[in-house]
Amino acid sequence: MATQHSRSAARIMMAPAVILLLGWMLVPLMMTLYFSFKKYLPLRGGDLGWVGFENYARFVSSSSFWPAVSATLMIVVGVLLITSILGVLLAILLDQPMWGQGIVRILVIAPFFVMPTVSALVWKNMFMDPVNGLLAHLWKFFGADPVAWLTEVPMGSIIMIVSWQWLPFATLILLTAIQSLDSEQLEASEMDGAPVLARFWYIVLPHLSRALTVVILIQTIFLLSIFAEIFVTTQGAFGTKTLSYLIFQRVLESQNVGLGSAGGVYAIILANIVALFLMRIVGKNLDT
């Protein structure tokens, strides 16, 4: 059993990690809060005094706020739908007996390891370019007019790129969950003559529900703050300016730190709401 001695040693060993994370969390957070109540323009006069909640009100009432909210929601919901539906199907497929399962798994998982700037640039130029992109060639081959993907269907294109990056993640986690499914239960239901769809609906899907929830929550947290994909492809043009990209522009491009910080506080609150649900699931698992 743990002695008094080992308890205090444990505390000392935990200290560096705890102190560092505490600092990493509190210092920038306090600064963001502080700036959010100020009129602060580093390039045009600097600190121009306290303004109360004006930044918060201005951020929400600016003409780019609601479009940014809807762009963010579209990307998050679109990618979640695509990756979780295809992820479930793909996980079931990969769980079937086949030849070369290991290699197929490697092929499917690969996009997750591609750095975001590379995948965005490769898709933008080599696939979605209206003149030289591979999709343009494919369209022409079937007699259709090539599409300027990133200007004509910018949102769809970005959802497509991001889904390609995150589908492997969803698949891998769902596959891990499916492999822990009791095969005897499935066999029994198969012998009882349950049709494939019923087996999927009443046995597989309930078994996957927790993994699916985890996939959705973790992806939501990452998707709320995607940056590189937009930075490299549209720079926020054509209605693809997400909330986090808008904040980035306010803070670094137009150097309106007060306004951007108020936006940052909104983003933090939003992420925390999602995080709360995720933490509940993870916490439950910690007890068992």
Site for other proteins in 40-69 (CB under 8 A): none
Stretch of 46-54, 64-72, 89-97, 151-159 contacting other proteins, by CB under 8 A: 89-97
Stretch of 52-60, 145-153, 194-202, 256-264 contacting other proteins, by CB under 8 A: 256-264
Residues 6+ apart with CB under 8 A from 126: 132, 133, 134
Binding mask 165-184 for other proteins (x = CB under 8 A): --xxx--xx--xx--x--x-
Binding mask 120-149 for other proteins (x = CB under 8 A): -xxxxxxx----x-x--x---x--------
Stretch of 18-26, 44-52, 77-85, 142-150 contacting other proteins, by CB under 8 A: 18-26
Amino acid at 198: A
Choosing from 74, 147, 153, 275, the residue that interacts with other proteins (CB under 8 A) is 275
CB of 240 to other proteins, least distance (A): 14
CB of 54 to other proteins, least distance (A): 17
Site residue total, other proteins (CB under 8 A): 108
C-alpha to C-alpha distances, 75 to 61, 88, 123, 163, 240, nearest whole angstrom: 22, 20, 17, 9, 9
Asked if 158 touches other proteins (CB under 8 A), the answer is: no
Q: Which of residues 186-245 bind other proteins (CB under 8 A)?
A: 186-187, 210-211, 214, 218, 221, 224-225, 227-228, 231-233, 244
Residue whose CB is less far from other proteins, 81 or 93: 93
Asked if 107 touches other proteins (CB under 8 A), the answer is: yes
Choosing from 73, 81, 85, 282, the residue that interacts with other proteins (CB under 8 A) is 282
